[in-house]
Structure 1
Amino acid sequence: MSNKVILVVLDGLNYQVARDCMGYLNGLLEQQRATLYPIQCELPSMSRPLYECILTGVRPVESGIVNNNIVRLSKHDSIFSLAKSQGKVTAAAAYHWVSELYNRAPFDAPRDRFTNDKSLNIQHGCFYHWDHYPDEALFLDAEHLRRTYQPDFLLIHPMNIDDLGHKFGLDSRQYRNSARAADIYLSNYIEQWLCDGYQVIITSDHGMNNDLSHGGILPEEREVPFFVIGERFTHQDCHINQTDICGIVCQLLGLEHHKPYSQELLAL
């Protein structure tokens, strides 16, 4: 069985928009080649706190990363640190806050934008600091990392869905069309990822509201998708918490860890 994982975090993607607009992923669902679970994100429903939650399994109120303006390294074991310490290869094409949480803070673009350092938790990275950085380019960055370094764990984190939500709101054609565009980009890669032995998880940190923001407890801000694609998943009905994602990935990678995870989701 394969023990490599690609985790795609589509920033700001609301569950219902994923369900309604992402035709390729829904096509996989109809053919029973993927399963979609609803997840309720932790609070506050903000980006940096939830990157930390997804990648460490620790709730924001416990991690201390409780808003987007806290710029420091994580104080908890992450997928990256656990994988790196156990001899796995790690990579990320992601927003620069991920680099600040797990590699070096504050972000220094000339030093950190392109990372290739086996001593760091994220050994190979392409990090960006523009919210409008094209998702299409970000997926190319990720695929370059994957083909070049063949990571055991690859994080892919595009920002355009969130960016257009902040500009136009949840109930806008721009926001919905950005989700459709991400679906098209994913359709260009997923089959090859599976052929190359990766288990694929696609989720989001938080949703979006019609105030052009997020951060609170509205269902549209908290309900996010969790797609799983690959032979290592049972594809059975089960409940998944956002705090389970770190442990699920650690299990798939075959890591020793003490993170919570949903046993029902994973095949033996």
Structure 2
Amino acid sequence: MSNKVILVVLDGLNYQVARDCMGYLNGLIEQQKATLYPIQCELPSMSRPLYECILTGVPPVISGIVNNEIVRLSNQESVFSLAKSQGKVTAAAAYHWVSELYNRAPYNAVRDRFTDDESLNIQYGRFYHWDHYPDEALFLDAESVRQKYHPDFLLIHPMNIDNTGHKHGLDSRQYRNSARAADIFLSNYLTTWVEAGYQVMITSDHGMNNDLSHGGILPEEREVPLFVIGDQFTHAATDVNQTELCGICCQLLGLEHRKPYSPELIAL
């Protein structure tokens, strides 16, 4: 039985755009190799609060990370801290806010951009601080770390979909095409990840609106996808909450934890 997990957070990806535009992932669904669940994100529908929610299972109004300008370490148990404390290897290729939440705050690019430190919660990190940092490069960063360190838990977090949404809005060809591009990049790696024994979850923090923003309660801002790929998923769950993603990762990793999760989603 595999106990390794890759969590992909495609920043700013609306559920319907994922359903309509990501042909490779939807092809896996047609071949019964993946399942797509709609998820309603927690509030506020903003990035840093929802990174914390996804990785700790704690809603923003409880965690205290309630907007993007709060720069401090998380004070919650996360997938990273639980995995590291129980002898697992952790890694991330992600936006620098993730480093600030779980490793060191504030982010220092010279010190933190390339992180290789077994004492930290994210032991092997490749962090970036440009919203336009190419998704293609980010996936290369992630795969390089995976092949070099064989992490038990790997977070992959590209930003181009969100960045494009802020420039062009939800109902734009540019936004839809950025989702299509991410789907193509994923098609280059997913088979390799599954063959290497990883359970793969692909989701988003929040969606996007036609005001070139997000943060409120509109369905297009809150509805995000969750694709699950791997032999440890039942593909039979009927409902998954964003606050359960941390616990699902912990359960798949075989960790001792007290996080909420969806037992009907996992064949353990």
TM-score in terms of structure 2 length: 1.00
Partner of 2:267: 267
Partner of 1:135: 135
Partner of 2:201: 201
> Are 2:56 and 1:56 aligned?
yes
Unmatched 5+ residue regions in structure 2? none
Partner SS for 2:12: coil
Partner of 1:250: 250
Q: How does 1:165-180 map to 2 (within 5 A)?
A: 165-180=165-180
Name the CA distance, whole Å, in 2 between partners of 1:51 and 1:73. Answer: 12
Partner of 2:30: 30
Name the CA distance, whole Å, in 1 between partners of 2:195 and 2:42. Answer: 33
Q: CA deviation at 1:50?
A: 0.1
Name the CA distance, whole Å, in 2 between partners of 1:206 and 1:29. Answer: 22
Q: How does 1:193-232 map to 2 (within 5 A)?
A: 193-232=193-232
Partner SS for 2:154: strand
Could you give the per-residue CA deviations for residues 116-167 of structure 1, whole angstroms, max 9, x where no partner exists? 0000000000000000000000000000000000000000000000000000
Could you give the per-residue CA deviations for residues 237-260 of structure 1, whole angstroms, max 9, x where no partner exists? 321000000000000000000000
Partner SS for 1:115: strand
Name the CA distance, whole Å, in 2 between partners of 1:108 and 1:194. Answer: 34
Partner of 2:234: 234
Partner SS for 2:81: helix
Partner of 2:75: 75
Q: CA deviation at 1:31?
A: 0.5
Q: Which amino acid aligns with 2:252?
A: L
Partner SS for 2:125: strand
Partner of 1:89: 89
Q: Which amino acid aligns with 2:114?
A: F
Name the CA distance, whole Å, in 1 between partners of 2:176 and 2:108. Answer: 33
Could you give the per-residue CA deviations for residues 173-223 of structure 1, whole angstroms, max 9, x where no partner exists? 000000000000000000000000000000000000000000000000000
Q: Which amino acid aligns with 2:59?
A: R
> Are 2:103 and 1:103 aligned?
yes
Name the CA distance, whole Å, in 2 between partners of 1:149 and 1:23. Answer: 31
Unmatched 5+ residue regions in structure 1? none
Partner SS for 1:69: coil
Partner SS for 1:202: strand
Partner SS for 2:199: strand
Name the CA distance, whole Å, in 2 between partners of 1:80 and 1:218. Answer: 31
Deviation larger for 5-14 or 230-239:
230-239
Q: Which amino acid aligns with 1:146?
A: R
Partner SS for 1:177: helix
Partner of 2:146: 146
Partner SS for 1:130: coil
- Identity, in percent, stands at 83
Partner SS for 1:127: strand
Partner SS for 1:256: coil
Partner of 1:4: 4
Q: Which amino acid aligns with 1:8?
A: V
Q: Which aligned segments of 4 or more residues in structure 1 are displaced greater than 6 angstroms? A: none
Partner SS for 2:151: coil
* C-alpha RMSD over aligned residues: 0.3
Name the CA distance, whole Å, in 2 between partners of 1:123 and 1:204. Answer: 23
Give the length in aligned residue pairs.
268
Partner SS for 2:207: coil
